[in-house]
Amino acid sequence: MIRRRRAARAAPLAQGSDRAHYRVFEPIGVWTKTTGDPIDLRDTIFLNTDVFENKHHFVVGSHLNRERIPERIVHAKGFGAYGYFEVTHDVSQYTTADIFNGIGKKTPVVGRFSIAIQNLGGNDVVRETKGLAMKFYTKQGNLDLIGLHLPIFLYKEPFDFAQFVHAFKRNPKTGTFDNNMRWDFLTLRPEHFHTIMWLMSDISLPDGYRKIHYFPIHTYEIYNKKGERYYVKFNFRTELGVHNLTNAQGAAIALEDPDYFNTDLYNAIVKKNYPAWRLEMDILTRKDLTKVDYDPFDVTRLWKRGTYRTVPIGRLVFNRVVENNFKDVEQSGFCPDNLVPGIVGPLDAVFKSRRIFYQDAQNYRLGSNFANIRVNSPIYDKTYVRDGMPPLLDNMKDAPNYYPNSFNGPMPYVDESRPTDRMVILHRNAIDLQPMAEFYNEIVESDAHRQRIADNLAASLVEVIPDIEKKALRLMTLIDVDLGRRVRATLTALRAVDPQERQREIAQCIANANEIRKHY
Ligand code: HEM
C-alpha cells in the first residue's frame, strides 16, 4: 500500500494521473478586481510606478493580511471529501430518522478527517487521535456525527476538556509539545489513561485515514414511531480493514510527506478507489439498561461483550474530493448537537458540554452566520434567525421575522413519537482501572503487541522528571504489574544507551527510513 503512494508521486503532472488538480482550464475570462472592473496589465506591474496610485495593489495586499481565520482549537489539521450514505438495512423499527429508513435511500454527506493535537500544518503521521466529522444532509435537517478512531473517550468530566487541551498542546514557555506536562496531568487525572493506552497501541499509527474505523462513542437515545426508545452506539467500520504502520514506517513517511494522510485520501478518491465504511449500531433496550452491571453512558469504557446486539444500517462512501479546501474544509463546522427527528441524542455530561462548545467555536471561528456557509447549509431551512455578519444568503427576503405572526411565516410541526421526558444520568467519579487492565490483557491480542505499547509508553517517559515518572510507573503497575515492569525495563534500557550509541541509533533510524522509502 505504501508502494502505491510512490508511484502516485512519480508523475504528478501526467495526464490522467491522480494529481487531477493540475488540469488546464478553458480560458476563464478577463481578470477583474473584486469590484468587477477589469484589470489593466499596467495595474500588475509596480516597478518604477507610484505604488500608492495603485488601488488594486492595496486591495490584494490588505486582503492577503486577512486570509487566515482562527484554526480549530483541536483537530486543526484535516482534509475533507464529499460522498453519500446508502441504507442497506431498514432500521425503522428503532428510529423514525428518515436517513436510516428505506433500503437504497441515498443521503449526501460531507466528511472532514482530522488529527487531534497537531496545529494546522502539522504532521499527519503521529500517534494522536484521528477524527472523522460527518454531516449528513438529510431531508429532516443536518445530522452531524463526529467520530474518533477510538471507541472510548478520555474522560467523563467535561471540565477536563480545556485542561487536557492545555496539557497536551504546547508548553506556554518553550512552544513545544511537552511530555512532562502530559504525564503530570495524566497522573493527576488517571481516568484519561485508558485512552492513552489505546493511543500507544498499534491502531493509533494507522496507514492513512481510509483504513480506520470511526466511533461517535456516546450512547445515543433514539426512538421509533411508537415512541419506544433504544440506546445505541454507532460504529463506522472501514471496508478496507484496519491497517497500521510500524514506528519505523511512520518515521520514514513523516519525513517524506507530512501530509501523507491527506495525500492518500485525495489520491484514492481521484483514482476512484472510493473509501467506504459500513455503519452499524450496537443496541440496548430500556430494559437492558436496568440489567447491565456497568454504566452504558460512560464514554471512558466499552460496553461489555454479550450485553448488546449489533444491527447493520448502511454504507458511507466518499467519492468526490473537495473542490476548494478553504471553502469546503476550513469553513466547515460540525456540531454534535445537529440531530434530526428520531435521534434524541446522547444524555451524558460530556455530550451536554459538547452541545454548547462546538456552536460557540464556530461562532468565533466562522461568525454567527456560519450555518449559511454553503458546506454547512441544510437542504431546507426556513428560520426566524436573521441579519448579522455575512454570509446572509437571501436573509428570508420579506418573510415575517417574528413568531407567532398572522402572515403565514414558518410554522412548527408536531412530532408525536418524540419522548416527552428525558432521563437524567448521574455518573460515578471513582477511577476504575479495570477497563485498562482488560484492554491490556484481553483486547491486546499478543505479548509482542503488549511490548510495543510498553515501548511507546517508555519512550514518552524518557525526558520526564523523576517525581512524575515515579507516579506514572506506579499508575501503570496498579493497572497491571506486567505493564509496570515492562515499561520500567524499557525505560532503563533507553536511559542506559550512551550518547554516542544514541547518535548511531539515530543515524541507523535515518538509514532505515531511507531504506523503507526506496520501496514506496
Ligand atoms: C467535553 C468534551 C468535548 C469538547 C468541549 C469538545 C470541543 C471541541 C471543539 C471546540 C472543537 C473545534 C470545533 C470547531 O472549531 O469547529 C472540537 C472538534 C472536534 N472534536 Fe471535540 N470536544 C469534546 C469531546 C469530543 C468527543 C467525545 C469527540 C468524539 C466522539 C470529539 C471529536 C471531535 C472532532 C472529530 C473534532 C473535529 C471536527 C471537525 O473536523 O471540524 N470531541 N471539539
Query: Measured in angstroms, how far is the CA atom of residue 264 from the centroid of ligand 1?
Result: 24
Q: How confident is the prediction along the chain (520 residues), in pLDDT tens digits per residue?
A: 334 444 333 333 333 345 556 778 889 999 999 999 999 998 888 888 888 888 888 889 999 999 999 999 999 999 999 999 999 999 999 999 999 999 999 999 999 999 999 999 999 999 999 999 999 999 999 999 999 999 999 999 999 999 999 999 999 999 999 999 999 999 999 999 999 999 999 999 999 999 999 999 999 999 999 999 999 999 999 999 999 999 999 999 999 999 999 999 999 999 999 999 999 999 999 999 999 999 999 999 999 999 999 999 999 999 999 999 999 999 999 999 999 999 999 999 999 999 999 999 999 999 999 999 999 999 999 999 999 999 998 999 999 999 999 999 999 999 999 999 999 999 888 999 999 999 999 999 999 999 999 999 999 999 999 999 999 999 999 999 999 999 999 999 999 987 777 777 667 666 766 665 555 4
Answer whether residue 72 is part of any domain: no
CATH assignment at residue 105: 2.40.180.10
75 touches ligand 1 (CB under 6 Å):
yes
Residue 90 three-state SS? coil
Query: Measured in angstroms, how far is the CA atom of residue 258 from the centroid of ligand 1?
Result: 23
Domain boundary (346, 375, 404) is at: 375
* Extended beta strands in 49-100, E state: 77-87
269 touches ligand 1 (CB under 6 Å):
no
pLDDT at position 17: 44
Nearest-angstrom CA–CA distance, 402 and 390 = 20
pLDDT at position 5: 43
Q: Are 324 and 470 found together in one domain?
A: no
Q: Are 308 and 370 found together in one domain?
A: yes
- Residue 514, domain extent: 434-518
Q: Are 217 and 139 found together in one domain?
A: yes
Query: Measured in angstroms, how far is the CA atom of residue 361 from the centroid of ligand 1?
Result: 10
Residues linked to residue 222 through DSSP beta bridges, in sequence order: 230, 343
Confidence (pTM): 0.93
73 touches ligand 1 (CB under 6 Å):
yes
Domain boundary (40, 67, 94) is at: 67
Distant-in-sequence, close-in-space partners of 463: CB < 8 Å, separation ≥ 6:
179, 180
Cβ neighbours of 470 (radius 10 Å): 12
Q: What are phi and psi of 268, to 5 degrees?
A: -60, -45
Q: Is 223 annotated as a binding residue?
A: no
Answer whether residue 179 is part of any domain: no
Q: Are 105 and 44 found together in one domain?
A: no
Query: Domain total for the chain?
Result: 3
Probe ligand 1: pick from 355, 357, 360, 370, max atoms within 8 Å of CB? 357
Query: Measured in angstroms, how far is the CA atom of residue 130 from the centroid of ligand 1?
Result: 11
Probe ligand 1: pick from 358, 363, 427, max atoms within 8 Å of CB? 358
334 touches ligand 1 (CB under 6 Å):
yes
Q: HEC states along 380-444?
A: CCCCCCCCCCCCCCCCCCCCCCCCCCCCCCCCCCCCCCCCCCCCCCCCCCCCCCHHHHHHHHHHC
Answer whether residue 270 is part of any domain: yes
Between the CA of residue 381 and those of 138, 201, 410, 461, what are the distances in Å?
A: 12, 44, 10, 52
Query: Measured in angstroms, how far is the CA atom of residue 260 from the centroid of ligand 1?
Result: 22
148 touches ligand 1 (CB under 6 Å):
yes
Answer whether residue 380 is part of any domain: no
Of 143, 133, 79, the C-alpha closest to 107 is: 143
Crossing angle for the helix pair 179-188 and 160-168, nearest 10 degrees? 150
289 touches ligand 1 (CB under 6 Å):
no
Q: Are 435 and 302 in contact (CB under 8 A)?
A: yes
Answer whether residue 514 is part of any domain: yes
Query: Measured in angstroms, how far is the CA atom of residue 138 from the centroid of ligand 1?
Result: 22
Residues linked to residue 277 through DSSP beta bridges, in sequence order: 238, 316
C-alpha of 478 from chain center:
31
Q: Are 62 and 140 found together in one domain?
A: no
362 touches ligand 1 (CB under 6 Å):
yes
Nearest-angstrom CA–CA distance, 319 and 366 = 27
Residues 72-101: b if buried by 16+ CB within 10 A, e if exposed: bebbbbbbbbbbbbbbeeebeebbbbbbbb
71 touches ligand 1 (CB under 6 Å):
no
Amino acid at the residue 140: Q
300 touches ligand 1 (CB under 6 Å):
no
Q: Are 54 and 83 found together in one domain?
A: no
Distant-in-sequence, close-in-space partners of 428: CB < 8 Å, separation ≥ 6:
295
Query: Measured in angstroms, how far is the CA atom of residue 120 from the centroid of ligand 1?
Result: 15
Domain boundary (375, 390, 419) is at: 375
Cα-based angle 124, 22, 7 (whole degrees, multiple of 5): 55
Of 512, 403, 487, 408, the C-alpha closest to 196 is: 487
Q: Are 243 and 308 found together in one domain?
A: yes
H helices present in 169-212, as ranges: 179-188, 193-199
Nearest-angstrom CA–CA distance, 482 and 457 = 13
Q: What are phi and psi of 272, to 5 degrees?
A: 70, 20
Q: Are 60 and 91 found together in one domain?
A: no
Q: Are 50 and 101 found together in one domain?
A: no
pLDDT at position 490: 98
Answer whether residue 349 is part of any domain: yes
Amino acid at the residue 407: F
The grid cell for 320 is 468526490
Nearest-angstrom CA–CA distance, 88 and 99 = 11
Q: Are 257 and 371 found together in one domain?
A: yes
Residue nearest to atom 13 of ligand 1 (CA): 358
pLDDT at position 509: 65
Examine the predicted complex and report whether its ipTM is higher than 0.90.
yes
Cα-based angle 46, 51, 57 (whole degrees, multiple of 5): 75
220 touches ligand 1 (CB under 6 Å):
no
Place of cell 408536531: 414
Q: Are 63 and 112 found together in one domain?
A: no
Query: Measured in angstroms, how far is the CA atom of residue 151 from the centroid of ligand 1?
Result: 15
Nearest atom, ligand 1, residue 162 CA: 5
Nearest-angstrom CA–CA distance, 218 and 298 = 8
The grid cell for 178 is 511537552
pLDDT at position 24: 80
Number of H helices and E strands in the chain, helices first, is: 15, 9
pLDDT at position 302: 97
Answer whether residue 331 is part of any domain: yes
Ramachandran sector of residue 197 (left: φ over 0; alpha: ψ -120 to 50; beta: rest): alpha
Answer whether residue 383 is part of any domain: no
Q: Are 55 and 89 found together in one domain?
A: no
